[in-house]
Amino acid sequence: MRIERKAVCLGTDIDTDVIIAGRYLRTKDRSLWAEHVFEDLDPTLAAGLKGSILIAGKNFGCGSSREQAPIALKEAGVQAVIAPTFARIFFRNSINVGLPVIECVCECAEGEMIKADLGEGNVKIGPSVYRIRPLSQKMLDILQAGGLVAYLRKRK
Protein backbone atom coordinates (compact mmCIF):
# COMPACT_ATOMS: atom_id res chain seq x y z
CA MET A 1 0.00 0.00 0.00
CA ARG A 2 1.48 3.32 -1.13
CA ILE A 3 0.33 6.79 -0.12
CA GLU A 4 1.70 10.05 -1.49
CA ARG A 5 0.26 13.25 -0.03
CA LYS A 6 1.16 16.64 1.46
CA ALA A 7 2.08 16.94 5.13
CA VAL A 8 0.06 18.64 7.81
CA CYS A 9 2.27 18.95 10.89
CA LEU A 10 1.01 18.67 14.47
CA GLY A 11 2.60 18.49 17.90
CA THR A 12 2.94 15.80 20.55
CA ASP A 13 0.32 14.23 22.80
CA ILE A 14 -2.65 15.02 20.52
CA ASP A 15 -5.52 13.41 22.38
CA THR A 16 -8.84 12.19 21.07
CA ASP A 17 -10.65 15.11 22.75
CA VAL A 18 -8.60 17.48 20.58
CA ILE A 19 -9.22 15.39 17.45
CA ILE A 20 -13.00 15.54 17.92
CA ALA A 21 -14.48 17.35 20.90
CA GLY A 22 -17.02 15.49 23.01
CA ARG A 23 -19.70 18.10 22.31
CA TYR A 24 -19.98 16.75 18.74
CA LEU A 25 -20.46 13.14 19.76
CA ARG A 26 -24.17 13.50 20.41
CA THR A 27 -24.67 12.90 16.70
CA LYS A 28 -23.65 10.08 14.40
CA ASP A 29 -23.28 12.51 11.50
CA ARG A 30 -19.74 11.83 10.32
CA SER A 31 -19.69 14.89 8.09
CA LEU A 32 -20.25 17.03 11.20
CA TRP A 33 -17.31 15.31 12.89
CA ALA A 34 -15.14 15.98 9.83
CA GLU A 35 -16.15 19.64 9.81
CA HIS A 36 -15.13 20.09 13.45
CA VAL A 37 -12.00 17.93 13.63
CA PHE A 38 -9.20 19.68 15.57
CA GLU A 39 -11.53 22.65 16.19
CA ASP A 40 -10.21 23.29 19.71
CA LEU A 41 -6.60 23.11 18.46
CA ASP A 42 -7.07 25.31 15.38
CA PRO A 43 -10.54 26.17 14.03
CA THR A 44 -9.18 26.51 10.47
CA LEU A 45 -7.32 23.19 10.38
CA ALA A 46 -10.21 20.96 9.23
CA ALA A 47 -10.52 22.85 5.95
CA GLY A 48 -6.96 21.87 4.94
CA LEU A 49 -6.98 18.18 5.82
CA LYS A 50 -8.49 16.67 2.68
CA GLY A 51 -5.87 14.56 0.93
CA SER A 52 -3.20 15.06 3.60
CA ILE A 53 -0.93 12.94 5.75
CA LEU A 54 -0.75 14.06 9.36
CA ILE A 55 2.75 14.17 10.81
CA ALA A 56 2.64 14.29 14.60
CA GLY A 57 4.78 13.84 17.65
CA LYS A 58 4.70 10.98 20.11
CA ASN A 59 1.57 9.60 21.78
CA PHE A 60 -0.91 10.53 19.05
CA GLY A 61 -4.49 9.56 19.91
CA CYS A 62 -4.03 9.42 23.67
CA GLY A 63 -6.96 10.07 25.98
CA SER A 64 -10.31 8.36 25.66
CA SER A 65 -10.83 5.30 23.51
CA ARG A 66 -13.47 6.92 21.30
CA GLU A 67 -13.64 5.32 17.89
CA GLN A 68 -15.05 8.56 16.51
CA ALA A 69 -11.58 10.16 16.50
CA PRO A 70 -10.07 8.09 13.66
CA ILE A 71 -13.43 8.13 11.87
CA ALA A 72 -13.48 11.95 12.03
CA LEU A 73 -9.96 12.10 10.58
CA LYS A 74 -10.82 9.72 7.77
CA GLU A 75 -14.04 11.60 7.00
CA ALA A 76 -12.07 14.86 6.90
CA GLY A 77 -9.93 13.37 4.15
CA VAL A 78 -6.80 12.44 6.09
CA GLN A 79 -5.04 9.68 4.15
CA ALA A 80 -2.69 8.51 6.93
CA VAL A 81 -1.17 9.54 10.25
CA ILE A 82 2.56 9.27 10.93
CA ALA A 83 3.88 9.56 14.49
CA PRO A 84 6.66 7.98 16.56
CA THR A 85 4.08 6.38 18.86
CA PHE A 86 0.31 6.04 19.09
CA ALA A 87 -2.05 5.29 21.93
CA ARG A 88 -2.77 1.56 21.63
CA ILE A 89 -6.57 1.81 21.32
CA PHE A 90 -6.40 4.69 18.83
CA PHE A 91 -3.93 2.67 16.74
CA ARG A 92 -6.22 -0.35 16.54
CA ASN A 93 -9.38 1.73 16.03
CA SER A 94 -7.63 3.44 13.10
CA ILE A 95 -6.74 0.16 11.43
CA ASN A 96 -10.30 -1.09 11.99
CA VAL A 97 -11.83 1.95 10.26
CA GLY A 98 -9.28 1.82 7.42
CA LEU A 99 -7.09 4.78 8.40
CA PRO A 100 -3.39 3.93 7.96
CA VAL A 101 -1.29 4.71 11.03
CA ILE A 102 2.47 4.62 10.59
CA GLU A 103 4.94 4.49 13.46
CA CYS A 104 7.97 6.45 12.32
CA VAL A 105 10.27 9.17 13.61
CA CYS A 106 10.71 11.64 10.77
CA GLU A 107 11.11 15.33 10.05
CA CYS A 108 9.26 17.41 7.51
CA ALA A 109 7.80 20.82 6.85
CA GLU A 110 4.17 21.82 6.49
CA GLY A 111 2.98 21.07 2.95
CA GLU A 112 5.98 18.92 2.05
CA MET A 113 5.23 15.81 -0.04
CA ILE A 114 5.35 12.54 1.88
CA LYS A 115 5.62 9.12 0.23
CA ALA A 116 4.73 6.23 2.50
CA ASP A 117 5.07 2.64 1.35
CA LEU A 118 3.60 0.30 3.94
CA GLY A 119 4.62 -2.81 2.02
CA GLU A 120 8.24 -1.71 1.66
CA GLY A 121 8.29 -0.32 5.21
CA ASN A 122 9.48 3.20 4.58
CA VAL A 123 8.57 6.87 4.40
CA LYS A 124 10.31 9.20 1.94
CA ILE A 125 10.46 12.93 2.53
CA GLY A 126 12.60 14.71 -0.02
CA PRO A 127 15.92 12.85 -0.21
CA SER A 128 15.48 11.28 3.25
CA VAL A 129 14.18 7.74 3.73
CA TYR A 130 12.88 6.66 7.14
CA ARG A 131 12.16 3.09 8.22
CA ILE A 132 8.76 2.44 9.74
CA ARG A 133 7.53 -0.11 12.21
CA PRO A 134 5.99 -2.72 9.91
CA LEU A 135 2.34 -3.66 10.11
CA SER A 136 1.29 -7.29 10.09
CA GLN A 137 0.00 -8.75 6.84
CA LYS A 138 -3.48 -8.99 8.36
CA MET A 139 -3.43 -5.27 9.25
CA LEU A 140 -2.29 -4.44 5.72
CA ASP A 141 -5.14 -6.58 4.35
CA ILE A 142 -7.65 -4.79 6.59
CA LEU A 143 -6.38 -1.39 5.42
CA GLN A 144 -6.42 -2.49 1.77
CA ALA A 145 -10.05 -3.60 2.17
CA GLY A 146 -11.02 -0.22 3.63
CA GLY A 147 -11.43 -1.35 7.23
CA LEU A 148 -12.34 -4.36 9.33
CA VAL A 149 -16.02 -4.54 8.32
CA ALA A 150 -15.16 -4.44 4.60
CA TYR A 151 -12.41 -7.00 5.17
CA LEU A 152 -14.78 -9.41 6.91
CA ARG A 153 -17.47 -8.95 4.23
CA LYS A 154 -14.94 -9.89 1.53
CA ARG A 155 -14.07 -13.07 3.38
CA LYS A 156 -17.66 -14.41 3.35
Q: What mean pLDDT is predicted for residues 53-81? A: 95
The structural domains of the chain, ordered by start, are 2-155 (3.20.19.10)
Q: What mean pLDDT is predicted for residues 127-149? A: 95
Confidence of residue 44 (pLDDT cuts 50, 70, 90): very high
Helix or strand run (H / E) with residue 7:
strand 2-9
Q: CB neighbours (10 Å) of residue 40?
A: 12
Whether the pLDDT of residue 114 is over 90: the answer is yes
Whether the pLDDT of residue 66 is over 90: the answer is no
pTM for this prediction: 0.94
Alpha-carbon separation of residue 124 from 7, 59, 78, 132, 139 (angstroms): 12, 22, 18, 10, 21
pLDDT computed for residue 64 by the predictor: 83
Sheet bearing 80-83, strands edge to edge: 101-103, 80-83, 52-55, 2-9, 113-117, 122-125, 128-131
Whether the pLDDT of residue 156 is over 80: the answer is no
